[in-house]
Amino acid sequence: MKDVTFGQYFPAKSFVHNMDARVKILAVIAYIVAVFLVKAFHFLGFLACFLFVIIATIFSRVPFLKVLRSIKGILFFIILSAILQIFFNADGKILLEWKFIKITDKGLLNAGFIVARISLIVLGASLLTLTTSPVEIADGIESLMYPLKWIKFPVHEFALIMSIALRFIPTLLDETDRIIKAQKARGADFESGNLFKRAKALIPVLIPLLISSFRRADELADAMDARCYSGSKNRTKYKKMRLTWRDAVATVFIAGLIVGVVFLNKFYWLLVV
């Protein structure tokens, strides 16, 4: 559980940490767009996105292994997606055939394509949460969504909900780990048996976790009420967000990534020949 890094903040003094939260949020959205712009089987585009993550990680001073561990939380989903592509894709040249199972070259390529896309998106999103505190993310989202106030959309409340959700991801992971250890000490077995038996064994974990979540939510509501929280009405900011030269450099950098992906999509076959 402690290896799950999504939602956790890594404090440091770096180029990326000092960037404006709004720019970082928009940069991650643009990065995800760049990942989706990569055409099927054009793996040079994925290589460009991966290099972007490596460079951003270096400038953030976050250990790369910590960023890489963010994939661990969705490893089961990645493996399942790859298996579905390998065994249920009948297009292309058959490499291995056994009874009803057919493994083709396009199935393997599609599996690699899906794994690369999901992994890169998770790496980029986790880098945002590692270098931006939940409060900064909430302020950035609120500032970016400010025009929606004209249509009476509760921008501040929406940003606050996202901030609280991100803030409590590490807390709930620690709580889950504590409950699992307590149940193991009482003789619970979470590792043996088939899938249904393991799922049934998690019930003694989910029920205390659900009760703990409601208790924490109630305590948080009481704390906010005791501090006279009244929403966005007449609310001021302790820290004002300002754009700096770092944000301009990052904007040029992410724009270069999108242009590079588009270029690789158009001239891919000339580059691999």
Domain count along the chain: 2
* Burial letters 165-201, b for 16+ CB under 10 A, else e: ebbbbbebbebbeebbeebeeeeeeeeeeeeeeeeeb
Same domain? For 184 and 219 the reply is: yes
Same domain? For 89 and 177 the reply is: no
d(C-alpha 25, C-alpha 28), whole Å: 5
Is the pLDDT at 24 greater than 90, yes or no?
Answer: yes
Same domain? For 67 and 180 the reply is: no
> 219: which 2 tokens?
């305590």
Which pLDDT score, from 0 to 100, does residue 271 have? Answer: 55
Is the pLDDT at 43 greater than 90, yes or no?
Answer: no
Which pLDDT score, from 0 to 100, does residue 55 have? Answer: 92
Average pLDDT over residues 179-193: 77
Quote the mean pLDDT of the chain: 81
Is the pLDDT at 45 greater than 60, yes or no?
Answer: yes
Same domain? For 89 and 222 the reply is: no
Which pLDDT score, from 0 to 100, does residue 74 have? Answer: 79
Residue type, 88: F
Same domain? For 125 and 10 the reply is: yes
Polymer length of the chain: 273
Residue type, 46: F
d(C-alpha 237, C-alpha 259), whole Å: 36
User: Is 36 contained in some domain?
Assistant: yes
Residue 261 DSSP one-character state: H
Is the pLDDT at 40 greater than 80, yes or no?
Answer: no
Is the pLDDT at 272 greater than 60, yes or no?
Answer: no
Is the pLDDT at 6 greater than 60, yes or no?
Answer: no
Same domain? For 224 and 267 the reply is: no
Same domain? For 11 and 107 the reply is: yes
d(C-alpha 1, C-alpha 11), whole Å: 20
3-state SS assignment for residue 122: helix
Which pLDDT score, from 0 to 100, does residue 248 have? Answer: 92
Which residues are within 8 A (CB) of 150 and not within 5 positions of it... i.e. 6 or more apart? none
d(C-alpha 269, C-alpha 44), whole Å: 10
Q: Where in the sequence is the domain holding 192, given as residue range(s)?
A: 170-231
Alpha helix stretches (DSSP H) within 132-194: 134-144, 155-185
Which pLDDT score, from 0 to 100, does residue 23 have? Answer: 92
Least trusted range by pLDDT, from 14-18, 32-36, 91-95, 118-122: 91-95
User: Is 156 contained in some domain?
Assistant: no
Residue recorded with tokens 């969504």? 145
Residue type, 263: F
Same domain? For 43 and 65 the reply is: yes
Q: pLDDT grade, residue 29 (50/70/90)?
A: very high
Average pLDDT over residues 39-66: 86
The 10s digit of each residue's pLDDT in 128-180 is: 888 988 888 888 888 888 888 888 888 888 888 877 887 787 788 888 888 88
Phi/psi for 216 (5° steps) reads: -65, -40
Half-sphere exposure (Cβ direction) of 188: Cα atoms closer than 13 Å: 18
Is the pLDDT at 108 greater than 90, yes or no?
Answer: no
Task: Kindly give the interhelix angle for 105-131 and 43-60, rounded to the nearest 10 degrees.
Answer: 20
The 10s digit of each residue's pLDDT in 200-255 is: 777 788 888 888 888 888 888 888 888 877 776 666 667 778 888 999 999 999 99
Residue type, 211: I
> 272: which 2 tokens?
């691999």
User: Is 159 contained in some domain?
Assistant: no
Instruction: Say if residues 73 and 132 touch (Cβ distance below 8 Å).
Output: no
Which pLDDT score, from 0 to 100, does residue 54 have? Answer: 92
Same domain? For 125 and 184 the reply is: no
Instruction: Say if residues 102 and 90 touch (Cβ distance below 8 Å).
Output: yes
Angle, CA 167 vertex, CA 149 and CA 218 arms, to 5°? 85
Which pLDDT score, from 0 to 100, does residue 4 have? Answer: 55
Average pLDDT over residues 26-38: 91
